[in-house]
Amino acid sequence: MSISNAMVLAAGLGTRLRPITNTMPKPLVEIAGKPMIDYVLDLLVEAGVSTAAVNVHHFADLMEGHLSQRSAPEIVISDEREALMNSGGGLAKGLKLLPEGPVLVMNADLFWVGEPKGKPSNLTRLAAAFDAERMDMLLLCVRDEDTTGHNGKRDFSLGDDGKLTRYAEGLPNPVVYAGAIALHSRLFADAPDDAFNLNIYFDRAAEEGRLYGLLLDGHWMTVGTPEAIGEAEAAIRRLQPEG
């Protein structure tokens, strides 16, 4: 299937990226001349997303001003100025602004480059592989060796059947969560209205055998500190020299 709606989690404080984030929100920090959130939104547009809800909190006015300049996708603001909702609460609140149905979810500060040319994109594959009958969530995952800026922590073990379980030392096929999900919005129909961590839903789905993973093609990066900006830009020059 193709998925036309998305939620972008963009409301965090970016504390580890200070002092840069003392004057701007983390998603607007430029990597190789392009704000991080634009890498994310461009990936969504390429995959066929026409509408994206984006939550805002830290320097919310700057975020809204930047997003208003985009022609695609259509942006719907999920306003968290009064209180941060954490990853799960922010997602649940934002989903209420979108039509019920399948949704792509992305973090505004995690993205990738170097997708194989001539093949379906990672998000296109994620949308196509999602099956709401069997899956609560399908997570895009990446092997540690295909990352830049990551701390080496493994999040899940990816089974031969595509199912994810929480990683523990010695388990095979360790992978890192790459910050992109395909899900059906009804999963959060009974979610609490206050702040909560999305990991609660990851763990619940894994316990029920309904958490699945798909491996990323390309090179994934996270920019958590000022020093990581240079590492990410070097990776982009190496893998996407045409810019």
Taking a C-beta distance cutoff of 8 angstroms, is the pair 218, 115 a contact? yes
Residue 242 confidence (pLDDT): 57
Structure confidence at residue 63 (pLDDT): 95
Alpha-carbon distance of 49 to 89, in angstroms, equals 22
pTM above 0.85, yes or no: yes
pLDDT at 243 over 70: no
pLDDT tens digits along 74-110: 999 999 999 889 999 999 999 999 999 999 999 998 9
pLDDT at 115: 92
Euclidean distance between CA atoms 136 and 200, whole angstroms:
13
Query: In this structure, are residues 157 and 171 in contact, taking their beta carbons and an 8 Å threshold?
Result: yes
Q: Measuring CA to CA, how many Å separate 222 from each of 56, 115, 168, 231, 242?
A: 20, 16, 22, 10, 21
Considering only residues 61 and 168, tell me which one the structure prediction assigns the higher pLDDT: 61
Tell me the mean pLDDT in the region 8-14.
92
Q: If you average pLDDT over residues 193-209, what whole number do you get?
A: 94
Provide the residue type at 33 as one letter.
Answer: G
Distance between CA atoms of 193 and 38, rounded to whole angstroms?
29
Domain edges within the chain: 5-239
pLDDT at 203 over 80: yes
The per-residue pLDDT for range 110-155, each reduced to its tens digit, is 999 999 989 999 999 999 999 999 999 999 999 999 998 887 788 9
pLDDT for 15:
85
Dist. CA 173–CA 128, nearest whole Å: 23
Q: Please check whether residue 151 is in contact with residue 110, taking contact to mean a CB–CB distance below 8 angstroms.
A: no
Mean pLDDT of the chain: 93
Amino acid found at 108? A
| pLDDT at residue 60 greater than cutoff 70 | yes
Residue 160 has pLDDT above 60, yes or no: yes
SS3 48: coil
Q: What's the CATH class of domain 5-239?
A: alpha beta
